[in-house]
Amino acid sequence: MIIEWTEENSVGVKELDEHHQNLVKIANKLYDFTRTNVKDRNKLIELLNELVNFSKYHHSIEEKYFKKFNYEHIERHTKEHEKFFVNMNALIKKIEDPKSDFSQTTFEVLDYLEDWYLNHLNDEDKKYTKTFNENGLF
Ligand SMILES: [Fe+2]
Ligand SMILES: [Fe+2]
């Protein structure tokens, strides 16, 4: 396990905490993968797609609330979400290249996810807690 979700990581909204817990779960599946199925490129791509698809869903819910509550950092936050997909897609493309050493790229992905977890989830996401709670969303 590279990442663990604890109460300290809470954004103060149950639905969104559950999303984050699920994202941590998928990231940890990816970490376990690097220690076991290192040769199965398709399985790896499948896991990455699961992560990207769930992130897409999760970001769309956050952004729905931003609009609903007229959140002040909507632009900056939405840009970060867009950047996440650009970066993840570039990494997935690298892994899909049959000539690539994809096990190396997997570590890049894990590094990137760890960084995302620290800087987006535990910093940018937490900034919406006040606005969301003030609007009755817990
Ligand atoms: Fe989030
Ligand atoms: Fe976010």
pLDDT in tens, 37-63: 778 999 999 999 999 999 999 999 999
Query: Which ligand is the nearest neighbour of the Cα of 74?
Result: 2
Confidence at residue 101, expressed as pLDDT on a 0 to 100 scale: 87
pLDDT at 114 (0 to 100): 94
Low-confidence stretches of the chain (pLDDT beneath 70): none
User: How high is the pLDDT of residue 36?
Assistant: 86
Q: How far is the CA of 130 from the centre of ligand 1 (A)?
A: 15
| pLDDT for the residue 2 | 79
45 Cα–ligand 2 center, Å: 23
Long-range contacts of 27-36 (CB under 8 A, 24+ apart): 27/2, 27/3, 27/51, 27/110, 27/113, 27/117, 28/1, 28/2, 28/3, 30/106, 30/109, 30/110, 30/113, 31/1, 31/2, 31/110, 33/106, 34/103, 34/106, 34/107, 34/110
Q: How far, in Å, from the CA of 16 to the mean position of ligand 1?
A: 7
Q: Catalogue all structural domains in the chain, each as residue range(s) with its CATH number.
A: 10-134 (1.20.120.50)
| pLDDT value at residue 37 | 76
Residue 125 Cα to ligand 1 middle (Å): 6
What average pLDDT does the chain have?
A: 95
